[in-house]
A = this chain, B = another copy of it.
Amino acid sequence: MKEFETTYPDDNYTVHVGHGIFKETLNLYTSRYEDVFYIIDENVHHAFKTTALKDIEDPVITRPGEAAKTAEAFIGIVESLLERGIKRSSLVVVIGGGAAGDAGGFAAAVTLRGVDFIQVPTTLLAHDSAIGGKTAINSRHGKNLIGAFHRPSGVIYDLDFLSTLPESEILSGFGEVYKHALLDSEKAARDLMEQTAHGVKAADLEDSLIKGIRTKMRYVTEDEFESGSRKYLNLGHTLGHAIEYEYKIQHGHAVMLGLYAMMFISNEQSESRIFDLESHHTYFSNLGYPMELLGTLDPGRMLKHMKHDKKNISDASVGFILMDKDFEPFFTEISTDEMVKYIGALKESL
């Protein structure tokens, strides 16, 4: 097991990562509280209720995945905690992917105006969502628009939970793992690429996940409330979100396509070969990402979606994260005209 502390100015917490660490590590926390309440993703509960989760009594079961993040489901979670007699001095333990984590974390944030909670991520992507203290549910008007900053008291990332994760979820989560490797260093990205050249096996990713958590933590600690460098975590996401929205594909798949487009535009803008596009194209395709969709992008519709993104306010340009020759991310404004050109060139290059 690896353990490390966040590096905020105060209220730090420990992230525990390893195999089979759930029960013992959780005890360290629960023993300090009079009452403990569990919020568990339905699919996770189903998969582990006779094994890792068998001692848990009367948990609040959330609808699987994103369905936990509607306002109605969310209110249901909060009312269930109150019905069970939660107190301000209780502990909430949230077990599930990013969706259960977001909804359960937000429930902990507002029940009795804030109760301590522990995140137990069970997906690959949740190595990302469990760090940073952001919690949220979805609005009728967009994703993650209702929420709170509420840091967990600890994160217990037991990689054994990943064993039951469907293939497509692994691939989707791997998009963020790869993004974090890019943000970490050229070497980290290259190593990860080599390690997974023949497929992504969640069980083998311990080191990369730990590195990813550290990278996310670095950006988040520098900038908890997202005014500056935290936006680099949006690497690949500006176009990624537009692709996700247009083609209704999974988030991480769209992010991977967005990362490829980011590489392409970074090369174009710098007029140099920061990224070896060919080998990345082959690598992403082989892993199973739908690279062919990039050939069908409609620049007008992409721009429309990007404008809709809450981070893009101006009309004449799009805020975008690129990477420079030193493999450092930077923020830039790309004018609407340029963006149309880049998307056109990207399509031709394929």
Residues of B within 8 A of A56 (CB): none
| Dominant secondary structure of chain A at its interface with chain B | mixed
Which of A136-144, A167-175, A184-192 lies at the binding interface?
A136-144
Question: How far does the Cβ of A134 sit from chain B's closest Cβ, in whole Å?
Answer: 7
Q: Which of A76-100 contact B (CB under 8 A)?
A: 78-79, 82-83, 87-88
Residues of B within 8 A of A248 (CB): none
Residues of B within 8 A of A71 (CB): 75, 78-79
Tell me whether A254 is interfacial, beta carbon within 8 Å. Answer: no
Tell me whether A297 is interfacial, beta carbon within 8 Å. Answer: no
Tell me whether A146 is interfacial, beta carbon within 8 Å. Answer: yes
Residues of B within 8 A of A75 (CB): 71, 75
Residue from A82, A111, A113 having most chain B Cβ neighbours under 10 A: A113
The answer to whether A146 and B114 have CB atoms under 8 Å apart is no
Contact with B along A129-172 (1 / 0, CB 8 A): 00000101001111001111100000000000000000000000
The answer to whether B79 and A110 have CB atoms under 8 Å apart is no
List A residues at the B interface (Cβ < 8 Å). Answer: 71, 75, 78-79, 82-83, 87-88, 106, 109-114, 134, 136, 139-142, 145-149, 310, 313
Could you pull out 9 A-B pairs where Cβ atoms are within 8 angstroms?
A71-B79, A78-B139, A82-B141, A87-B310, A106-B110, A110-B110, A113-B134, A113-B147, A113-B149
